[in-house]
Chain A
């Protein structure tokens, strides 16, 4: 099956390409039939020049194309990649909003069918079976795609394969796309974000829900997390109330984490949030409501006010650390 893998240059592009290769492998696709398309732009190259060349070396397919734009716009990217993908039976796009946008827009333009956030897939001939979560993570949906060409963006939860790079002679083409910005942006500035340790790497996480009640308590819980050497995270309502910043959000529209220990305080346990912590080794839940769904989704549940229980738990942990 002739196919393409499409990835945009970004800080986690190597991980994204590795996930694409996992998915491609699960569909029994072979390197000789594939083309990897790397979409770059002037701003990305300022941040990632060496990493881009490393990525080209790691391309798992026989062919690779690098397209460089003065500025990245998904509409421009679609126009540029169309000639390279329109005769592919399958096009896999890296997870994230860029990949989803490209997959859906390419399908609308070229024909065939699109699918976003595919979590797993298998292939029989030219029929592809895909699974993904739906209804805020409450339901697992299984679909069959039967009419190629297919345009599939993969989900963040797909595991990363080990990337070694195509072992044979690779054919690499590079093109600079002199496309003017259709949005004619002016006054464009990029303000770097404050670096924070990614939640995904934490061994212990203390996650809070709207039960914290206000910004002050949320910040106190963050301090408690720091005391026990844990990263702090939260549910969507905490972010939407502006009690904590967006990079603390855990769940389907935040971080997907798999710490050894996750302590959850004051969260109702919505499926969308639980999707973010389901990979945790041990889950401890604290809630005043003994009927809270979160208490059934944990390994250990303490019924009580987090304002009383959490400090005691922190004290127990720090007492035993010394």
Chain B
């Protein structure tokens, strides 16, 4: 079973101050090159769910490939994934964060060149623009079904699969309860907020064992050659038909009154809560 997990390396939003946002807005530059990076939170959960499938795999059926569309900063995360057991690591180079449509075409082209993949996993949305478009556009480009916000995956018994038809067991939250079902592959699945799916941490031994692992890098032009992505993206890197008019920092501060001392809770109650929590 060939599984591809796509993720992004993003600036850690928890380390970006209000001033950073204001400076970014003034410069119209939201790359934050000096802020430490992390794997996009939902992509992290997708990676962990993929590793759990490998944990279940006693027969060597599962082959994991990790892909990131981005600059060299994602290589540290790809090395972590190698240490954790990913079999192949790829980066499609992009100097800056690509538009979701470009990323979608890059992923779809990558799959045509290196696949086919039985299962493609990615986070539902990234923390930047958060459009959630990438997995859906990839689904259309590859004409694969797409299942949104799954919570868990598990392998089916080997004798339920044939060479022609593989299956996977999926759990997700539906409108009326938790849905469990066995689905035919191939499939694209997105992962939302799933409790307890923070990515495991590799040991030093695991890191040393994979320190020379090769990260395959492709240039974006090469990956995208043959696709018609340019019909959908303007020279400014925006989706055709969509014009970005402004980006304005959101001010969330209130006129706060700070209380200290032994009687702080009494004073807060008197000033703000009396009559409201009875």
Q: Are A184 and B183 in contact (CB under 8 A)?
A: yes
Q: Are A240 and B248 in contact (CB under 8 A)?
A: no
Type the 1/0 row for B187-223, where 1 means its CB is closer than 8 Å to any CB of A: 1000011111110000000000000000000000000
Smallest distance from the beta carbon of B273 to chain A beta carbons, Å? Answer: 6
- Which one of B127, B132, B133, B246 lies within 8 Å of A142 (CB-CB)? B246
CA–CA, A235 and B194, complex, Å: 13
CA–CA, A10 and B259, complex, Å: 45
| B252 at interface, CB cutoff 8 A | yes
| A313 at interface, CB cutoff 8 A | yes
From 130 to 156 in chain A, residues with beta carbon under 8 angstroms from any chain B beta carbon are 133-148
From 217 to 263 in chain A, residues with beta carbon under 8 angstroms from any chain B beta carbon are 228-230, 236, 239-242, 245-246, 249, 252-254, 260-261
| A30 at interface, CB cutoff 8 A | no
Q: Are A75 and B145 in contact (CB under 8 A)?
A: yes
Determine the chain B residues whose CB is within 8 A of the CB of A228 once the complex forms. Answer: 277
- Which one of A129, A140, A320 lies within 8 Å of B274 (CB-CB)? A320
Stretch from A50-58, A62-70, A277-285 that touches the partner: A277-285
CA–CA, A316 and B265, complex, Å: 7
CA–CA, A254 and B278, complex, Å: 27
CA–CA, A139 and B246, complex, Å: 10
Stretch from B52-60, B71-79, B235-243 that touches the partner: B235-243
From 249 to 274 in chain B, residues with beta carbon under 8 angstroms from any chain A beta carbon are 249-250, 252-260, 264-266, 268-269, 271-274
Q: Are A313 and B265 in contact (CB under 8 A)?
A: yes
Determine the chain A residues whose CB is within 8 A of the CB of B140 once the complex forms. Answer: 105, 108-109
CA–CA, A260 and B175, complex, Å: 28
| B26 at interface, CB cutoff 8 A | no
Determine the chain B residues whose CB is within 8 A of the CB of A312 once the complex forms. Answer: 265
| A21 at interface, CB cutoff 8 A | no
Q: Are B179 and A135 in contact (CB under 8 A)?
A: no
Residue among A138, A146, A252 with max Cβ neighbours from chain B (10 Å):
A138
| B276 at interface, CB cutoff 8 A | yes
CA–CA, A200 and B246, complex, Å: 31
From 93 to 128 in chain A, residues with beta carbon under 8 angstroms from any chain B beta carbon are 97-98, 100-101, 104-105, 108-109, 112-117
Determine the chain B residues whose CB is within 8 A of the CB of A147 once the complex forms. Answer: 240-241
| A171 at interface, CB cutoff 8 A | no
Smallest distance from the beta carbon of A123 to chain B beta carbons, Å? Answer: 15
Determine the chain A residues whose CB is within 8 A of the CB of B179 once the complex forms. Answer: 188-190
| B182 at interface, CB cutoff 8 A | yes
Smallest distance from the beta carbon of B128 to chain A beta carbons, Å? Answer: 6
Smallest distance from the beta carbon of B18 to chain A beta carbons, Å? Answer: 7
- Which one of A74, A113, A134, A320 lies within 8 Å of B130 (CB-CB)? A134
Interface size class of chain B, counting residues whose CB lies under 8 Å from the partner chain: 35 or more
On whether A75 and B146 interact (CB within 8 A), knowing A105-B140, A240-B197, the answer reads: yes
Determine the chain B residues whose CB is within 8 A of the CB of A192 once the complex forms. Answer: 176-177
On whether A139 and B249 interact (CB within 8 A), knowing A134-B128, A302-B265, the answer reads: yes
Q: Are B245 and A104 in contact (CB under 8 A)?
A: no
| B27 at interface, CB cutoff 8 A | no
CA–CA, A282 and B255, complex, Å: 11
CA–CA, A97 and B175, complex, Å: 11
Determine the chain A residues whose CB is within 8 A of the CB of B137 once the complex forms. Answer: 104-105, 108
Q: Are A300 and B278 in contact (CB under 8 A)?
A: no
Q: Are A191 and B180 in contact (CB under 8 A)?
A: yes
- Which one of B141, B148, B255 lies within 8 Å of A299 (CB-CB)? B255
| B68 at interface, CB cutoff 8 A | no
Q: Are B265 and A105 in contact (CB under 8 A)?
A: no
| B178 at interface, CB cutoff 8 A | yes
- Which one of B21, B148, B240 lies within 8 Å of A139 (CB-CB)? B21
From 272 to 290 in chain A, residues with beta carbon under 8 angstroms from any chain B beta carbon are 272, 274, 278, 281-285, 290
Q: Are B146 and A297 in contact (CB under 8 A)?
A: no
Smallest distance from the beta carbon of A149 to chain B beta carbons, Å? Answer: 9
Determine the chain B residues whose CB is within 8 A of the CB of A184 once the complex forms. Answer: 183-184
Determine the chain A residues whose CB is within 8 A of the CB of B21 once the complex forms. Answer: 135, 138-139
| B163 at interface, CB cutoff 8 A | no
On whether A302 and B264 interact (CB within 8 A), knowing A97-B148, A113-B240, A239-B195, the answer reads: yes
Smallest distance from the beta carbon of A2 to chain B beta carbons, Å? Answer: 18
Smallest distance from the beta carbon of A287 to chain B beta carbons, Å? Answer: 11
Q: Are A188 and B272 in contact (CB under 8 A)?
A: no
Smallest distance from the beta carbon of A191 to chain B beta carbons, Å? Answer: 5
Determine the residue in chain B with the shortest Cβ distance to A321: B278
Determine the chain B residues whose CB is within 8 A of the CB of A113 once the complex forms. Answer: 239-242
Determine the residue in chain B with the shortest Cβ distance to A310: B265
| A172 at interface, CB cutoff 8 A | no
Q: Which 6 A-B pairs have the closest CB atoms?
A: A147-B241, A113-B241, A242-B196, A188-B181, A108-B140, A104-B136
22 example contacts (A-B, Cβ-Cβ < 8 A) are as follows A104-B131, A113-B241, A114-B133, A116-B131, A139-B249, A140-B248, A141-B129, A144-B242, A145-B241, A146-B241, A185-B183, A187-B180, A241-B198, A278-B252, A282-B276, A283-B254, A284-B268, A284-B273, A293-B18, A295-B258, A300-B259, A317-B277
Further 4 A-B residue pairs, CB within 8 A, beyond A113-B241, A139-B25, A191-B178: A117-B131, A145-B243, A184-B183, A270-B13
